[in-house]
Amino acid sequence: MVSDDEMIHVDGELASGSYFPTLGISPERGRIFTEADDHPSGGKDGPVAVISDRLWNRRYQRSPSAIGSNIVLDQVRFTVIGIMPPSFFGAEVGTHPDVWIPISFSDKVAIPGCLAAPSCWALVLMGRMKPAVTAAPANAELAAISREVLRETTPPNWSAALKNRYRSYIFSSDSGEQGWSFLRYQFTDPLLILMALVSLVLLIACANLSVLLLARASTRHREIAVRLSMGAGRARIIRQLLTESVLLSLAGGLAGTLCAFWLTRILIAFVSDRHGPGQFTHLQLQPD
């Protein structure tokens, strides 16, 4: 991105004119682009862009003059018309776009010719169902129209095997409540298996710890007998043993919580290194 003759690198996202209204997101300042701006020649303000709060702070020092300023993306000049709130990171989990521009400009920025190419897979479709519609009938309707849509959109220059594979797909919908991410589809099953193993290890550790506590208590019978002979009641002895166990549990819980924070960062770094430098470093994973 070039702004005031200064070139900086930013992460951007192409979005349709209905992107922000569908998500129900309002800008922190200015306005969002709409379907009226999503044309190859732009709307009444020409090519427009919406920037993130992070870029507004980094590049414009939170100055109101950012609205109406110009930025250049791949030699195309855009007018900044809005600034998104700090809590908005886009619909894709793990990304943090700094600039959003209408998807009609994809032929000039980022992926030239992709919109007109039948074999260019670069878009993710997200919609909002009517209140009375549930996922089951929606998926049934999508499955019913899949064959006809895929038949009409099959590129004629593909091989017979590739055409058959393409036409065998069935459309379906997933909940967009928590955003979308290919990372989720790739790691859901392995993480479930890992969680099951962790739970099993936790149960084994609890069983071993209970045996150790029982063994420790059995060796303290002389101490407990002395306390009872000195007038301590049974309830007081029980409270003492419970207090010791609670303190031990709190210490273990605190250590586990600290490890959870540290190991989460290590896990994100490991996944990011395997899928490209910094690809998932924006994942907001915190122990809940």
Full DSSP string of 111-137: STT-TT-TT-----------TT--HHH
Question: What average pLDDT does this structure show over 88-103?
Answer: 87
Higher pLDDT: 217 or 169? It is 169
**50-54, 131-135, 217-221, 251-255, range with the lowest pLDDT:** 217-221
Question: What average pLDDT does this structure show over 51-62?
Answer: 92
pLDDT at 109: 80
Contact predicate 270/253, CB 8 Å: no
- Matching residue, tokens 């049934």: 140
**Whether the predicted pLDDT of 203 surpasses 60:** yes
pLDDT at 284: 65
pLDDT at 52: 94
Residue 281 pLDDT grade (very low, low, confident, very high; cuts 50, 70, 90) = low
Q: For 111-160, how does the pLDDT look when each residue is reduced to its tens digit (9 = 90+)? A: 777 777 777 777 888 888 888 888 888 899 999 999 898 988 888 888 89
**Is residue 101 within a helix (H) or strand (E), and if so which, with residue range?**
strand 99-102
Higher pLDDT: 167 or 3? It is 167
Mean pLDDT of the chain: 85
Here the contacts of 213-219 (C-beta below 8 Å, separation 24 or greater) are 213/245, 217/241
Higher pLDDT: 119 or 210? It is 210
Q: For 171-195, how does the pLDDT look when each residue is reduced to its tens digit (9 = 90+)? A: 888 888 877 877 777 778 888 998 9
Question: What average pLDDT does this structure show over 196-202?
Answer: 94
Rounded CA-CA distance 165/144 in Å is 17
**Whether the predicted pLDDT of 271 surpasses 70:** no
pLDDT at 247: 92
pLDDT at 27: 94
Question: What average pLDDT does this structure show over 4-18?
Answer: 83
pLDDT at 184: 76
Radius of gyration for the chain, computed over Cα atoms and rounded to the nearest angstrom: 29
Question: What average pLDDT does this structure show over 71-94?
Answer: 88
- Matching residue, tokens 């682009």: 33
pLDDT at 85: 94
Tokens encoding 6: 């200064």
Percent of the chain with pLDDT over 90: 30
pLDDT at 274: 57
Question: What average pLDDT does this structure show over 18-30?
Answer: 92
